Amino acid sequence: MSRSYVENRAEGSALRRIELEYENRLYRAFSLGFSLVEIGRRIGCVSVIHLYRVLQRKGLISRAVKRRRQRAPDRMERSLQRVRLSFIQWCNSWGFDPETAEVELATPDAPSPHGVREAALRDFPDLFERQEGSMDLEEWEREISSSTIGHSYRVDWDEKIEKFTGSIPGVESLTIIGRHPSGVMIELVRVTWLLRAIDLLRDMEEG
């Protein structure tokens, strides 16, 4: 989401602190052994390419990714498209060699010595026959996306600076400044999403 409406460095610093906590929580969840797709699912982030790039910047996922022609089985490719990852990126997030991963996924009756099929089962359980009591991923995503955030917004016109200012009651030191109220609201909604994701990531850490 664009941040072009954050025009004052002092006010933007509070937003940056929230962003840094979010990124650090991602770092810790990934370091604890949760996969990229698992994290995205838990925080209601269907497209995980943003998480992938954050973890690359943090040094947990390699940046040295070569163009490769390997691909997953068709059903898994559809699942990867849904989370906006290529097969090569998925392999990179797990530390798999794409050629080895392609072979193990293509031979379901053979052993999977590198754990590729186990990783696919964790990330995409819908690829396999659903067992009783297993998680309905689409239902979970709908629940997370529609859950109440518990924050309200305030947007006011500041005559002194001739711009709109936005804040979230209860979130100290955060002020979003912009020329248009819609742009301020976009940033406020983004902040509430980050705060909700931080809470969910904290729950993952605490088990």
Q: What is the pLDDT of residue 76?
A: 93
Query: pLDDT digit string (tens) for 101-147?
Result: 999 998 877 888 899 999 999 999 887 655 444 445 455 455 544 55
Counting every residue written for the chain, the total comes to 207
* Closest by Cα among 43, 32, 128, 48 to 92: 48
Calpha distance 82→48 (Å, rounded): 9
For the whole model, what pTM was predicted? 0.79
Buried b / exposed e over 3-20, threshold 16 CB at 10 Å, is eebbeeeebbebbeebbe
Query: pLDDT digit string (tens) for 186-198?
Result: 989 889 999 999 9
- What element of type H or E holds 157? strand 154-158
User: Range with the lowest mean pLDDT among 3-7, 19-23, 156-160, 164-168?
Assistant: 3-7
